[in-house]
Structure 1
Amino acid sequence: MIDKKKSGKVYLVGAGPGDVGLITVKGLQVLREADVIFYDYLANPSFLSGLSSKIKLVYVGKKGASHFQAHQTDIETMMIAQAKKGKTVVRLKGGDPFVFGRGGEELQTLMEAGIPCEVIPGVSSGMAVPAYAGIPVTHRDYTSELVFVTGHEDPSGLHREEFWKGLVSMRSLVFLMGYHYLKENMEQLLKYGMDPQTPAAMIQWGTYPQQKTVVATVGTMAAEAQNQNIKPPTIVVVGAVVSLREKLNWFEKRPLHNQTVLVTRTHQGNEKIKTLLEVYGAHVLEMPLIQIAPMSSWASLDAVLKKINRYRWIVFSSHWGVHYFWQRMEKMGKDARFLEKIKIACVGEKTAASLRQKGIHANLIPKNYNAESLVKALKKKLKKKERVLIVRAKEGHTVVEENLEKIKQPFDLVFAYQNKKPKLDPEKWQNIFTRTPCHWVVFLSASAVKNFISCWPKGMEDPSFQKTRIACMGPMTQKEARLQGLPVHCVPPKATIESLVETMLL
């Protein structure tokens, strides 16, 4: 833990090569406790998205071939100024701060200014990115030598013949930031005697879902990178170890690699599906088309709770229903014993898991996690005149109550929460879709379908979605999608996140 009572301090933190799972535990802890974060172009923005809104974020990127250039002296001056105000400052740098990251210069300047500092190393992209491309930078059968070279400096300024001859004599070279002077660097290696048939690889956006690797030779690398439209950030590997990629490539062989999946879910509910899709290689875009909100008045729910013993069954359609129902129970000073005489039916396992956390095990969970299956199973257990309480969202579907009406089963309906449509910027999202065409759109509820169409009335006829496939969770979502004129390509046999993603892989 950072002691906030002490004077300001600067942490130089290595963010790793890009994959959010590759930052150190200590680095992540310091990020969460910072007052100010100065971050650069190579630090994954996902690190910042979940932080407190009280943290000041300052972009100081120095992207290669870009018009925007943050001057090093300005960055150092800003860090010193914030630290002197007593702030906890994090300088978040891609890879490791001390590997071609100017971390040593920054630390020197900070210490000369009397600023307390700490360095938290990061996983260097020079090792991690080749590993994600299936290229071990050392291998006993190929090389025990490894040299890291900055590919960002003009090689024409390095006139020392010994320097380039020394590189040529090494069996494994890694050029970090290797895009801008790729052609010149390859020419220098050839000039000083490297075999033009020496294997070489250029890796773009290493460790990110959109990682792309081009394999060629030293003699053809520059032309091949240009042909395949490779842009920074990149790393170049030169040496016989590159030939191992043919057998060791793992990251780019995942079934959803380089596919963009748009997840249209609540702000609060994306974590599980996002994580699972990324495990299979997908680039996940999150569009929160539903915002879960409490009811504007609790009068109806509170009235139901006061006469709870008139019910023999309670039907929960979602874990959010459990959440808000329980919240009002606790407000009344009640706990699980309050429901001891009532049987509980849940539409799915996630809802049942929420109840178990409260100390209650559901009496009924349908084999298929949808309202239709729930009603079918519930009918077999209901006795005549037993009153049922249905707890759901204000905007939820009416399958349960419609079926109970048909069999003249007494029931009451109470709304525990609302599904609101968040404010979205269609122009911003249109720009995103133009740059990043979606391979999949995932709808997990009928409400998400409705809100999507309200933002994009043309639906899949919009040019951004012409080659997009649609996955729907459950028959109600599928029905709404078709009602809105959307083609449905994938519906899982079981209404779970795991089943949905598995079906997308087929």
Structure 2
Amino acid sequence: MTTHLQSKGMVYLVGAGPGDPGLITLRGVECLRKAEVVVYDYLANEQLLDHVPAAAERIYAGKIGGRHNQDQEEINTLLVKQAQAGRIVVRLKGGDPFVFGRGGEECEALGAAGVPFEIVPGVTAAVGACAYAGIPLTHRDYTASVTLVTGREGKDKDDSGIDWHSLSRGKGTLVFYMGITTLRRNMERLVEHGRSPDTPVALIRWGTTPDQQVLKGTLADIADRADRAGFKPPALTIVGEVVALREKLSWFDGRPLFGRKVIVTRAADQTGEFAAMLAEQGAMAIECPTIRLVEPEQWEPLDTVLREAGSYDWLVLTSGNAVRSVFRRLEVLGLDARVLGRCRVCAVGPKTAEALGEFGIRPDLVPSDYKAEGVVAEFARMDLAGKRVLFPRADRARDLVPRELARMGARVDSPIAYRNILPDSLPHEALHALERRTVDCITFTSSSTVRNLAAMVGEDRMLDLLKGVTVASIGPITSQACRSLGLEVAIEPASYTLADLAAAIEAFFSC
């Protein structure tokens, strides 16, 4: 890009897709990562803002209370103004910018002002929502054409700009955007112009998200069905014989955790992995970190033992956090895994072993019981008299391992490798869901996640917020912390891993 163009700023019109944040394009993510300003819509999933630099300005231009926060002219002016200030602007629009997204109008305004822009296409709602509903837009045995139509014409508008006669001929699939408020009149017009009243129709609300709802009917009765179901926007209307294929092709809303809201309380940089496991089974995983991991108050105790790590007989690491903290510190000290020398390594659990593998180390010991008691049981089979053990730990870690190994005769050093502190606040989405009583399950993956939640909202309020919410705990120690605070644990896997916890949650809700 030339210096002249860059000095004038740049606007990227990015299609956010129909709702599932995984449906944005790679190019769209690239644009978000370099944005200085993001102007986003009501239908753009806010999780996509996680790709945006922390320093970037975020401007909501969607709906508030059912009304648009800014009209189109104001948005056009905003984009021009921000770009002319020399900023990189991303206009994040639900679906595709050029399919009923008013992207053309915004580009006209940018072009008239001499502002350079780029269009990044997105998965439009018709394609995404129909795919997730199991309704192919075209099918060799049913239809070879599809038409996208705006459904937003006044209920009593007789002089329609839509060619209803042409739409009603043949068996092509019709997709109406924004047509729920005009559903009855639109269906009547199709019948009036020759389409069979028995033609299958489907309404898809919040397509591609865990809130997806699909309502089926015909041209003759879909409006009545929608009224009885209280079906509200945003939704698409699909008309055509292909709707009948949903019975065979439905996949998304048949997953075991579909529609379940699950709160994940791990540390902020760790919630994503577990949330993704739950989302794969159809859950709406709401990230609610109750832990923030920070550096020790002083590094010297850890630095001292790491410099002489090769003089120890065992290095015991009980979590991926401990692994990462130790090896990041080694890097700062100008050292690497070679400093371990003859020191053998114990990893508590497969995830800890996996984290070690990232640094080229295979653990010598992985206890079959993935908790402190399992570590103690394994070392009880050995002669630890006079052996040196290095146990880098969290500031709030249980003292069982160093205490018991010392009792066996080992000389144990247990410096703090990281601290576990409270986040500043709970995420709005998680707190809002708890207050509205829409949460099905909450997960706790350590005792700290339980205690920290109680500390952040108060024990009494926590118990009130979690009334009727299924509590899932990763293991007995965490379950004990839950019960000590008055929570009833309904789910606890036999093995204490995230994968096993996810499987246990799936089994519980599948019963």
TM over 0.5: yes
Shift of 1:92: 1.4
Is 1:298 the counterpart of 2:318? The answer is: no
Deviates further, 154-163 or 380-389: 154-163
Partner of 2:79: 79
Alignment of 1:398-409 (within 5 A): 398-409=399-410
1:146 counterpart = 2:146: yes
Matched with 1:381 is 382
The one-letter code sitting in structure 1 at the alignment partner of 2:82 is Q
CA 1:426 to 1:110, structure 2 compared with 1: closer, same or farther past 3 Å? closer
Residue 156 of structure 1 aligns to a residue whose secondary structure is coil
Which amino acid in structure 2 is aligned with residue 123 of structure 1?
A: V
Kept in 2, the 8 Å contact 1:200–1:239? The answer is: yes
Question: Cα deviation per residue 1:318-376 (whole Å; 9 max; x = unaligned)?
Answer: 22222222333334332222211211111122222332333332211112322222221
Distance in 2 of aligned mates of 1:500 and 1:229: 36
State the match for 2:117 in structure 1.
117
CA contact (8 A) 2:459 2:485 kept: no
Moved more, 128-137 or 101-110: 101-110
CA contact 1:198–1:239 (8 Å) conserved in 2: yes
User: Partner residue of 1:36?
Assistant: 37
Distance in 2 (alpha carbons) for counterparts of 1:45 and 1:2 = 32
Residues in 1 aligned to 2:480 and 2:244: alpha-carbon distance in whole angstroms:
50
Q: CA deviation at 1:412?
A: 2.5
How many residues align? The count is 504
Higher deviation after alignment, 190-199 or 27-36: 190-199
Normalising by structure 1, report the TM-score: 0.93
**Aligned residue in 1 for 2:233:** 232
Tell me, in whole angstroms, the C-alpha distance in 1 between the residues paired with 2:435 and 2:184: 31
Deviations 1:151-171 (A, max 9, x none): 122253352598222222242
* Deviating more after overlay: 323-332 vs 92-101: 323-332
Asked whether the 8 Å contact 1:134–1:250 carries over to 2, the reply is yes
Distance 2:102 2:423 in 1: 42
Secondary structure of 1:256's aligned partner = coil
Check conservation: 2:384, 2:405, Cα contact below 8 A.
Answer: no
Partners of 2:288 and 2:426 within 8 A in 1? no
Tell me which amino acid in the other structure corresponds to 1:35.
E
Shift of 1:132: 0.7
What is the correspondence of 1:75-114 to structure 2 with a 5 Å cutoff? 75-114=75-114
Counterpart secondary structure, 2:459: coil
Mapped contact 2:175–2:236 kept (Cα < 8 A):
yes
1:502 Cα deviation from its structure 2 partner:
1.2
Residue in structure 1 matched with residue 202 of structure 2 by the alignment: 201
TM-aligned CA deviation for residue 131 of structure 1? 1.3
Contact 1:404 1:411 (8 Å CA) reproduced: yes
Q: Which has the higher mean CA deviation after the structures are superposed, 151-160 or 262-271? A: 151-160
Shift of residue 426, structure 1, vs aligned partner: 8.8
Partners of 1:170 and 1:93 lie apart in 2 by 33
Distance, in Å, in 1 between the alignment partners of 2:208 and 2:235 is 11
Query: 1:211 corresponds to which letter in structure 2?
Result: Q
CA distance in 2, matches of 1:210, 1:444: 26
Asked if 1:68 is matched to 2:68, the reply is yes
> Alignment partner of 1:90: what SS?
strand
Q: What stretches of structure 1 of length at least 5 have no aligned partner?
A: none
Shift of 1:448: 0.5
Matching residue's letter, 2:145: E
1:80, distance to aligned residue in structure 2 (A): 1.1
Give runs of aligned pairs for residues 340-419 of structure 1, distance below 5 A: 340-419=341-420
TM-score w.r.t. the length of structure 2 is 0.92
Deviations 1:26-61 (A, max 9, x none): 111111112222111111111112321221111111
Moved more, 171-180 or 149-158: 149-158
User: Which residue identity lines up with residue 457 of structure 1 in the other structure?
Assistant: E
- 1:164 equivalent to 2:164? Answer yes
Q: Identity of paired residues, percent?
A: 39
- Unaligned runs of 5+ residues in structure 2 are none
Query: What CA distance in whole angstroms lies between the structure 2 residues aligned with 1:223 and 1:378?
Result: 70
1:458 counterpart SS class: helix
3-state DSSP of counterpart to 2:134: coil
Determine if contact 1:261/1:284 at 8 Å carries over to the other structure.
Answer: yes
| Distance change in 2, residues 1:465/1:89 (3 Å) | same
RMSD: 2.3
Aligned position for 2:434: 433
SS of equivalent residue, structure 1 residue 482: helix
